[in-house]
Amino acid sequence: MTVDPTAAAPTPEHCVTALLDAYVLGECTSAAADAIETHLGRCVSCSVDAAQLALTVPPPAWSTVGPPAAPTADMDLTPGGPGSLEAVLAAALAVRPAAPGTPATGSTAPAQAGPARPRGPRTPTHGSRAAALDRLLVELAPAHWGRLAVAGWSVRELVLHLYAVDGLLLAALDGAGSDAGADSDAPGDLGRPDEDPVARTEAVLAATREWSVEQVRLRWFERAGLVCAAVADATRASGPSVVTAGGWTTTPADHLTARAFETWIHTRDIAAAAGLAVPDPGEGELHTMADLALRLLVDPWTAAVETAGPAALTVTLTGPGGGTWSLDPSGVHEWQGDAGLVESGPAEGPARTTGPASGPLTASAITVGAVTVGAVTVGIVPFCLLAGDRATVDAVATRMEGDERLAVELLTLAPSLAGP
Partner 1 sequence: MPTVHGQDGAAPVARRPSAAGTGGGAPPPTPAAGRQPHSRREVVELHGRLVAGDPTALAVVHERYARYLLAVAARVTGDADAARDVLQEVLVAFWQHPLRFDPDRGELRTWLAVLAHRRAVDWVRREIARRPTDLVARALAEQSDGPAADRDFLEREDADAVRAAVAALPVKLREVVELAYFRELTYREVAIRLAIPEGTAKSRMRAALSALALTLTRLGAAP
Is 80 among the residues that bind partner 1 (CB under 8 A)?
no
Give the single-character DSSP code of 377.
E
Question: Who contacts 168 (Cβ-Cβ below 8 Å, separation ≥6)?
Answer: 190, 191, 192, 193, 195, 197, 200, 245, 246
d(CA 408, CA 392): 12
Is 143 among the residues that bind partner 1 (CB under 8 A)?
no
Q: Site for partner 1 (CB under 8 A): which residue of 7, 75, 143, 206?
A: 75
Considering the complex, state which of residue 138 and residue 303 has its C-beta at the smaller distance from partner 1.
138
d(CA 180, CA 28): 47
Q: Site for partner 1 (CB under 8 A): which residue of 2, 6, 106, 113?
A: 113
Is 131 among the residues that bind partner 1 (CB under 8 A)?
yes
CB burial of residue 126 (10 Å; 0-12, 13-18, 19+): buried
Contact 190, 171 (CB under 8 A): yes
The span of 73-81, 149-157, 238-246, 311-319 binding partner 1 (CB under 8 A) equals: 73-81
Contact 327, 354 (CB under 8 A): no
Q: Site for partner 1 (CB under 8 A): which residue of 79, 80, 115, 177?
A: 115
Is 142 among the residues that bind partner 1 (CB under 8 A)?
no
CB of 108 to partner 1, least distance (A): 6
Q: Within positions 202 to 261, which residues make up the interface with partner 1, using CB under 8 A?
A: none
The span of 38-46, 243-251, 347-355, 385-393 binding partner 1 (CB under 8 A) equals: 38-46
Contact 411, 396 (CB under 8 A): yes
Is 18 among the residues that bind partner 1 (CB under 8 A)?
no
d(CA 364, CA 400): 10
Residues in the interface with partner 1 (CB under 8 A) total 84
Q: Site for partner 1 (CB under 8 A): which residue of 3, 8, 19, 33?
A: 33
Angle at 192 between CA 188 and CA 193, to 5 degrees: 135
The span of 40-48, 184-192, 346-354, 370-378 binding partner 1 (CB under 8 A) equals: 40-48
Pairing relationship of beta strands 398-402 and 248-250 according to DSSP bridges = unpaired
The span of 126-134, 174-182, 234-242, 308-316 binding partner 1 (CB under 8 A) equals: 126-134
Considering the complex, state which of residue 93 and residue 308 has its C-beta at the smaller distance from partner 1.
93
Q: Site for partner 1 (CB under 8 A): which residue of 121, 127, 193, 374?
A: 127
Q: Within positions 267 to 326, which residues make up the interface with partner 1, using CB under 8 A?
A: 276-282, 320
Considering the complex, state which of residue 246 and residue 321 has its C-beta at the smaller distance from partner 1.
321
Q: Which of 243, 168, 164, 170 is nearest to 211 (CA)?
A: 164
Is 83 among the residues that bind partner 1 (CB under 8 A)?
yes
CB of 10 to partner 1, least distance (A): 12
Q: Site for partner 1 (CB under 8 A): which residue of 88, 237, 339, 357?
A: 88
- Distance set, CA 301 to CA 327, 359, 409 (Å): 9, 23, 7
Binding mask 42-61 for partner 1 (x = CB under 8 A): xxx--xx-xx--xxxxxxxx
The span of 64-72, 150-158, 194-202, 381-389 binding partner 1 (CB under 8 A) equals: 64-72
Considering the complex, state which of residue 79 and residue 247 has its C-beta at the smaller distance from partner 1.
79
User: Residue 148: helix, strand or coil by DSSP?
Assistant: strand
For the chain, give the number of residues: 420
Alpha-helical regions (H) of 96-154:
126-139
Pairing relationship of beta strands 323-328 and 371-379 according to DSSP bridges = unpaired
Alpha-helical regions (H) of 44-125:
44-56, 62-65, 85-95
CB of 194 to partner 1, least distance (A): 32
Considering the complex, state which of residue 18 and residue 303 has its C-beta at the smaller distance from partner 1.
18
Is 111 among the residues that bind partner 1 (CB under 8 A)?
yes
Q: Site for partner 1 (CB under 8 A): which residue of 2, 6, 7, 82?
A: 82
Question: Who contacts 166 (Cβ-Cβ below 8 Å, separation ≥6)?
Answer: 220, 223, 224, 226, 227, 259
Is 102 among the residues that bind partner 1 (CB under 8 A)?
yes
